[in-house]
Structure 1
């Protein structure tokens, strides 16, 4: 038995974090037993665990047990978990640690800055050490972005520190272990750039150059003789202009080494504290993956372009020697046009890195920006050695916990696209896109994708940061939750977007099961629904959220045109549905936390439900909002008078829409899961596997390696469909992969933190087979299936230690199974090898010669009489035509024979 994935607040050995609470979690694997019978946590001052200062035994929850003791500043604590199983096993974890920052200790360092006319400074302080160092820690904040060096070596592996902050509220400071970097004589350098804090960032043309560049730092040294020393930022520091002359999140970075060292040193300027400091709460942010150049392209326009084969966010590192005086320019783009470099869809973002060489060999990289790209145009010199260029993907440090591989390469690519969409947009906050002049923390995108993200990655620490920033902003806006962060429109809210305040905490509780985190987020949830409630009461209490600005079903295809931003679904309806859900989630959270206001919010939710039923449903139970999204939202939230009428309405709407996706950020992101949940898994698979426009595989077939913002971001001929709002790395529609986890593989939580789950896989011959593992906070679930050549079905299922699952296999009785691994081999009445049915659209049948021969034989009028250019005709099926057999002068028996033989076609 092995204890693994031991974390504090979802983090590995966190150092210098703001510990609102200490929540220790762990998992168990390689066990013989089924469950934990006893566990113990010990916290000690030393790595040998000989000076235990706190321990707890009994009643420990692996999802998260609070370590309750008084922490001291500047202190490393060691801890260890011991677990016993019902099979008599005992296992001890490794000895792990976490370390406090300054806590409430006052700063002795001073904020220093530069003269107003100076930018991109390089600060310096030299110092000597004459005694043996026991340990040393650096506590530092540099605004906007800093990198610091001791003895020429970079401190820590963070990039873009101190990350994205709520600059109206506080700035994070970082803590680094620098013990091994100190020497007898030491040169301490700090570089500052503009970043999100000071440069051009946000919609329109906002800049914040009035914000001062600033640095504060304390280097604490503990000597072996028991004495201490603190070296601080103060008037003794000097600065000069660094080799960086431009740094901008959108426009890029320029480094000029030509005459940099000729700059004279100046005395630093003491400045007034620009804001409040707090210990960091951003996850580690650094380069997580390295990508080699896949191909060097010499374009028709004479350009040299490096293709990394993957769209991602990060930067390029160059180690090729660049002769003195040469200016190398790297420009970044997502797509080629007519074989040439292109990035017009970046709008005003220049997205450029310029390097003026002094001839000194070094690792060339930007320090204060990042790019979203697949292609890099290199200019300034002719002989480009591709082996000296490396792409480095930057995203917040998270464990990938979800893995899917099927027998369908295009679905595997779609899975990868969704995953890379997450990686590219999880750069300290969940952004909409990583490349153009936006890159904002849009809350609607985060809301629709968070349940998928929770399957892909362990997102609890990352989303904790985002929700803390959202709450900080909310408190200044009387409960209103922002439409994006950092918030440039205080007071502007919108349903679905602002509902992230309730939806994301619910997801975190469902997936990770922490009541402590739920309690932290409860005020955010409650204040949001109270905000809408107050506005509704001020207009007469209609119990509907049908007022104010709304995005609605953003980018839906059923708008005025397929390029419209607003869809056809009534905004008041869909936002009221989300208002109901948020209010219901507050009631559920209050119940989980044992709070008295459960009934208050449950009653409010019931009032909203009744108002929706009265306003948007007919007396007979028919939904008056006749759009795909309208029906889907009703089914997702379970608000209807007659469920079957809503299902029938959706089926009819889909038929009228030619079985094409019409929904936007609301409808399409939930479409497949809602269909599967309501007995239409075949339709969900049809939509998932459709290869034309609009569909997920349309982009895959055009070479996409991430998810696009629009269904037709790129046209069939490879040309981009527009530049105004057209990102090729926008994760929202990647939410469809939740369907693969929840229904194709069938892994769904039924108790917080996946302590209980339902495993109900849905085999599909067009996937061939499924291999899915999900290493939940409770341990790893596995759901694999295969359709065998003889038509039987094979399943392999794993349930983690301490958990149980209801296993539901096709046409079988459900079983409640404990932890363990299980093999099943079954036969069903349904033949899962069958590719087609009587409801398969003609467009699919006409693409298979076997089906074509059957149609020619029995119903030639169908094959020869169907107009291939008529989408409506091509979306009809044999069942449709059979009801009109007389029109074809063909007996129904001919259709029956055709249907019978088509059903017999196997993969």
Structure 2
């Protein structure tokens, strides 16, 4: 016994001696965990390092890859093995092994060495599955239904049986549709993706999804069944009841590769052998909802042995596969589930259920009744001031789901090819009493990883942060929509550019924007203009300042957040085309656009004759964004080594700014528009020479105070308002705006019970009445852009442009006596970054967490380094950190990874 204990102790000591005090986890392939459907021939691999010690870095790594898990663990039959590579790179390390094959599964591991050359253990294995990898590998045919469609266009269903006669090692299905689809194999759902294949500019880029379906196959006979829905492809989308934008017929493309244990390969494809019919989904539209008639269910139709002799033959369609692309972004999935918080009867007698949160998704319902009983569910974001169900702001969108019972015990209904934006539902025709246990609401959005948190001593600000994140959840449904409830739900470019930086704090939107920006480039007009919405279903040939600028703003924001140089490179030509477009339509380097939304939904008082409406000259706005996009193009050119472009556009930028001064500013720096937005844009985009900036900031503050410390900005000015104030020494005014509770302000909707961000500052007026119903969404994320300031200024978490993606981190909080504490955390590709400060009496504590393999420059709010301590020790002569110096109001230190606790008077 003693000998056993001794040997165990000796082994533990030996292990500690051999292995570094680090471990490897968080393995990603192309930014995703164990992704299925990778199209890159040379995918990029990333990992995180953990250590309880400070100032830990990676000095080397080793990667191994195999097609077989057991071989990987033994280090045998490897298709890729780097050996020990001296490098501190742990993000975007490119696979450079042998040629990867379509539909194959690859397992990999990594280990690392710390700065003392001590080695970690091998990580837990991870994997990826390749996609179809090119049009030449598609053997499947597009198939369509020949069933004559009635006016309501019910969803077609398709089926095929096949046989497996050998033991299956791996089965991978590649599926897409012109429309939406949901597939089953042997009665079980294929994957958990909703609203597939997602929304792209279908005529140019149509996504397919890849699924590992090995566990769904049976020995012997099998069956596959697929249901299609109208979706964005041919459903009602855009304005004026537009239908069939991309095509009239729904069609399916299905290809399954089966690899047997003996090495042989068989494909099951969509071809002329499939059969088609219709089922219970009798109507399905994104805006208007779904009708499901359970009496028309075909029991067992996705199981082998089903009798489909009365089904129709299918029709082969000659659609291309050249435009098919693998799914880059996280698909839409079911997320949070909500139970009713209240069941009520309105003053007009309506039966209404309140789920307590304005969310985007659908309601799942249970009911028992007679065959033919019809239950209708209507959806709304708010009740009116009398407590009645309110749908006028939905415009033409019906947001109505209908379930017709078959009369067989307890039945369940859940939509498939639609979704709603709602907090409240009205139920009509329900047999019996409405009971909470029979209704749940499921949130539906792109399956982004939650990466950011923010909290502080003010509960209303905490609720604001929660509302910002719920606004993002509800509107990041495969594309960044403007709103999720009315007859719109389009990828408005202005909203997306305003919110992109905030979005990257709240959730990991790297792949989300990567996918959508490719559609921005695809739908960019031949002359370089960028549409209002992407995918461009408005097709009006117009563009607007601050909207089209998403072409430059979003790629640069993603580069800063994730350090993804290839993403920036892939968007560079689109960025350049946009700037060149503006230049081509400008006169004397002045952009006077034919159309402009201006500072959309800026402050207008209830009495527009008051003279207080904050109207900003649209051409001034255009000129500011002309300069900003040019500057971002210059930044991208420098990163990518396009020095000639950088120099040429730097010369253009000087001309743009000179033209601005000549046209829109007096000699003393007064702007032709004296609005908050005018001064914010001029200051944030450095349109004014340095000797004019102080007075411009003063004028901005004077304007704010003239409105009794209220903001008056719209979609274009709001994202930068508090940033400008903090930058020019008016941090107290920025905090005052944040904490303002009366209209117009960020907290006014919170005081009115909002659970998301509103489209208008006064969507609900103080007397309970509503703003203009035709333009009054209660889930519209753009004004949530204040979140960027909460993260980057209040708690001070920021990235270094020289080492983006948080390889080098800056922590510079701008504290205020208006809060007693504030804290933010951010999950980066390297690990968690956090910054938390609190004021206790005359003392400030700043706690910082820095991930392994990164460094940080920390600005401690203090005036004297000798009075700053870290973990109770003076920072002067501190062996674990470097005292860099000081600047106004801060003592600056440089640290490595670990937990750091600073305190100062």
Shift of 1:362: 4.7
Q: Find 1:194's aligned residue among 230, 233, 238.
A: 230
- Equivalent residue number for residue 216 of structure 1: 253
Shift of 1:588: 1.2
Contact map agreement 1:555 1:566 (CA 8 A) in 2: no
- Equivalent residue number for residue 304 of structure 2: none
Structure 2: how far apart are the matches of 1:581 and 1:760? 24
Size of the aligned set, in residue pairs, is 821
**Structure 2 vs 1, CA of residues 565 and 25 (structure 1 numbering), >3 Å: closer, same or farther?**
farther
C-alpha distance after superposition, 1:217-272 (max 9, x if no partner)? 11222222333222221222111111111110100100112245499411112222
Contact map agreement 1:239 1:266 (CA 8 A) in 2: yes
- Equivalent residue number for residue 717 of structure 1: 767
Shift of 1:805: 2.1
Structure 2: how far apart are the matches of 1:704 and 1:782? 28
Shift of 1:60: 5.4
Structure 1: how far apart are the matches of 2:810 and 2:266? 57
Structure 2: how far apart are the matches of 1:350 and 1:468? 32
Contact map agreement 1:320 1:385 (CA 8 A) in 2: no
Q: Find 1:704's aligned residue among 754, 757, 767.
A: 754
Residue 690 (str. 1) matches residue 737 (str. 2): no
Residue 113 (str. 1) matches residue 164 (str. 2): no
- Equivalent residue number for residue 479 of structure 1: 528
Q: Find 1:430's aligned residue among 480, 504, 509.
A: 480
Contact map agreement 1:40 1:60 (CA 8 A) in 2: no
Contact map agreement 1:313 1:395 (CA 8 A) in 2: yes
Q: Which moved more, 1:511-520 or 1:416-425?
A: 511-520
Residue 603 (str. 1) matches residue 651 (str. 2): yes
**Structure 2 vs 1, CA of residues 695 and 234 (structure 1 numbering), >3 Å: closer, same or farther?**
same
Structure 1: how far apart are the matches of 2:636 and 2:484? 33
Report SS of the residue matched to 2:513.
helix
**Structure 2 vs 1, CA of residues 5 and 575 (structure 1 numbering), >3 Å: closer, same or farther?**
farther
C-alpha distance after superposition, 1:597-651 (max 9, x if no partner)? 2211221112212211222222233333311111111211122131111112112
Residue 374 (str. 1) matches residue 433 (str. 2): no
Structure 1: how far apart are the matches of 2:223 and 2:613? 57
- Equivalent residue number for residue 123 of structure 1: 158
C-alpha distance after superposition, 1:789-809 (max 9, x if no partner)? x33222211122222222222
Residue 86 (str. 1) matches residue 86 (str. 2): no
TM-score (norm 1): 0.87
Shift of 1:166: 0.8
**Structure 2 vs 1, CA of residues 804 and 322 (structure 1 numbering), >3 Å: closer, same or farther?**
farther
Counting only pairs closer than 5 Å after superposition, residues 384-783 of structure 1 correspond to structure 2 as 384-474=434-524, 476-487=525-536, 488-536=538-586, 541-557=587-603, 568-595=615-642, 596-641=644-689, 642-751=692-801, 752-783=804-835
Contact map agreement 2:61 2:111 (CA 8 A) in 1: yes
Give unmatched runs, 5+ long, in structure 2.
1-21, 300-307, 864-890
Structure 1: how far apart are the matches of 2:353 and 2:896? 52
- Equivalent residue number for residue 106 of structure 2: 77
- Equivalent residue number for residue 100 of structure 1: 130
Structure 2: how far apart are the matches of 1:228 and 1:37? 43
**Structure 2 vs 1, CA of residues 259 and 399 (structure 1 numbering), >3 Å: closer, same or farther?**
closer
Structure 2: how far apart are the matches of 1:402 and 1:562? 39
TM-score (norm 2): 0.87
Report SS of the residue matched to 2:788.
helix
Structure 2: how far apart are the matches of 1:601 and 1:40? 42
C-alpha distance after superposition, 1:149-184 (max 9, x if no partner)? 112111100001011021221322211111111123
Q: Find 2:77's aligned residue among 31, 35, 51.
A: 51
Counting only pairs closer than 5 Å after superposition, residues 806-885 of structure 1 correspond to structure 2 as 806-812=857-863, 813-827=891-905
Residue 167 (str. 1) matches residue 202 (str. 2): yes
**Structure 2 vs 1, CA of residues 809 and 549 (structure 1 numbering), >3 Å: closer, same or farther?**
same
Q: Which moved more, 1:304-313 or 1:180-189?
A: 180-189
Residue 354 (str. 1) matches residue 402 (str. 2): yes
Structure 2: how far apart are the matches of 1:672 and 1:755? 26
**Structure 2 vs 1, CA of residues 327 and 20 (structure 1 numbering), >3 Å: closer, same or farther?**
farther
- Equivalent residue number for residue 50 of structure 2: 29
Contact map agreement 2:146 2:312 (CA 8 A) in 1: no
Structure 2: how far apart are the matches of 1:161 and 1:261? 23
Q: Find 1:364's aligned residue among 395, 402, 413.
A: 413
Residue 319 (str. 1) matches residue 366 (str. 2): yes
Shift of 1:677: 1.7
Report SS of the residue matched to 2:805.
helix
C-alpha distance after superposition, 1:1-29 (max 9, x if no partner)? 23333222222222124338622222223
Give unmatched runs, 5+ long, in structure 1.
828-907
**Aligned-pair Cα RMSD in Å:** 2.2
Contact map agreement 1:40 1:83 (CA 8 A) in 2: yes
C-alpha distance after superposition, 1:18-66 (max 9, x if no partner)? 3386222222233425211112333322224233223442345223222
Report SS of the residue matched to 1:113.
strand
Q: Find 2:324's aligned residue among 277, 301, 308.
A: 277
**Structure 2 vs 1, CA of residues 172 and 817 (structure 1 numbering), >3 Å: closer, same or farther?**
same
Structure 1: how far apart are the matches of 2:48 and 2:530? 35
- Equivalent residue number for residue 26 of structure 2: 5
- Equivalent residue number for residue 276 of structure 2: 239
Contact map agreement 2:405 2:411 (CA 8 A) in 1: no
Q: Which moved more, 1:456-465 or 1:615-624?
A: 615-624
Q: Which moved more, 1:309-318 or 1:748-757?
A: 748-757
Structure 2: how far apart are the matches of 1:23 and 1:434? 34
Contact map agreement 1:297 1:306 (CA 8 A) in 2: yes
**Structure 2 vs 1, CA of residues 439 and 519 (structure 1 numbering), >3 Å: closer, same or farther?**
same
**Structure 2 vs 1, CA of residues 277 and 807 (structure 1 numbering), >3 Å: closer, same or farther?**
closer
Structure 1: how far apart are the matches of 2:608 and 2:903? 46
Report SS of the residue matched to 1:94.
coil
Structure 1: how far apart are the matches of 2:62 and 2:618? 52
Contact map agreement 2:45 2:93 (CA 8 A) in 1: yes
Shift of 1:532: 1.4
C-alpha distance after superposition, 1:203-223 (max 9, x if no partner)? 222111752110111122222
Contact map agreement 2:100 2:130 (CA 8 A) in 1: yes
Structure 2: how far apart are the matches of 1:627 and 1:514? 37
Structure 2: how far apart are the matches of 1:271 and 1:148? 20
Shift of 1:746: 1.2
Structure 1: how far apart are the matches of 2:121 and 2:607? 62
Shift of 1:323: 4.0
Shift of 1:565: 15
